[in-house]
Amino acid sequence: MKCAYCGKETKGTKEHIISSAILDLFPECYLTYDGLRKKVYKSDPMIKDVCAKCNNERISYIDSYAKKIISQYFTQKYTDQDTVEIEYNYTMIQKMLLKYAFNDMRSHKDDYSYFDEEILHFLMGEKDNVPKKYITVLCGLAVNVSPVPDALLGNLKLQWCKDPIIYSNSVIRNIDYETGEIFLNDDVKKLCFDDLKLSYLFRFNSAQFLLMCWDKCSTKIRKNNIILSFQYPYYLMKLEDKKAKLPVCTNGFNYHSFGFINAKWDLLFEVDLMRLAAYGGEYKLKEIYEKEWEKEEEKIKKKYSR
Ligand SMILES: [Zn+2]
């Protein structure tokens, strides 16, 4: 077979879809659930089409950076009251997400022609530190503001999906504040961006990254970036910024239903506040459950240590 990166004829070595170094940070998440194939398995998600040289030498610097940034900021959970400011290297963030998307697409036998020689050289070139203008990355904090504890719906700290649904408008039309009844917006459309070739959404515990890959010759990228940064609760990452204050990008619905991106003005965010107020300002049962779960999780971490 041909190596997916350098193209040389070779015997494939196993390449993790998401770096093993990141999986090592979350040993309690020891099962893999493949939603597309509807399969659960115990081993790590991997693909076997990369030569030893690319795997161990050419692209491994990306894994080192990924481990560094995730372990520095995102192994802990946050509340919506926390202020989280991160320092980041934009080029490395682009490379990390592109690599994972590329791995995932190959593992699903998707059309990955977007990953042409230019992108592959970018990924293999450790010294190449000029980010790609036709790639956009947004980042936000994933915070569980719902009354449902995380572990109740599965220990889903690491998730990713291709082409997340980005809503063009609020999915709730209005709220009756007297009764608390909500009325859905039935015809809310998915926002279709001009010249979008592919997109991915990643969750690394308390962080979410949205990767948007545009047509390389597109003249609409600037306009699309403005739409994304003004309409959605995410921070638009850029080369000039080294630091970012991350907004909370999840609500009670899309925290547990991964793959949906709601507009900033979505009334779902209002519903969260309303629900919390109805509970008297805190979710006591959730807190008790989560404290107990933390103890359980320590045991699982030991049992499945990597
Ligand atoms: Zn290779």
Does a structural domain hold residue 190? yes
Domain that holds residue 123: 76-303
- pLDDT value of residue 162: 97
Separation of 100 CA from ligand 1 center, angstroms? 16
109: Cβ contacts below 8 Å, ≥ 6 apart: none
Span 203-228, pLDDT tens digits:
999 999 999 999 999 999 999 999 99
Q: Which pLDDT belongs to residue 36?
A: 82
288 domain-assigned? yes
Q: Which residues of the chain have pLDDT under 70?
A: none
Q: Is residue 17 part of a domain?
A: no
Number of domains into which the chain is organized: 1
Whether 253 and 113 have beta carbons less than 8 Å apart is answered as no
199 found inside a domain: yes
Establish if 18 belongs to a structural domain. no
In a domain, 70, yes or no: no
Cα diameter, the chain: 68
pLDDT at residue 242 in the model? 86
Question: Does residue 23 form part of some domain?
Answer: no
Cα 58 to ligand 1 centre (Å):
8
Q: What is the pLDDT of residue 121?
A: 97
Centre of ligand 1 to C-alpha 59, Å, is: 9
Note the pLDDT of residue 246: 97
pLDDT of residue 241: 83
Is residue 14 one of the residues assigned to a domain? Answer: no
pLDDT, tens only, 5-35? 999 998 899 999 999 999 999 999 999 998 8
Distance 12 CA to ligand 1 centre (A): 9
Q: Which residues surround ligand 1, an ion (CB under 5 A)?
A: 3, 5-6, 51, 54
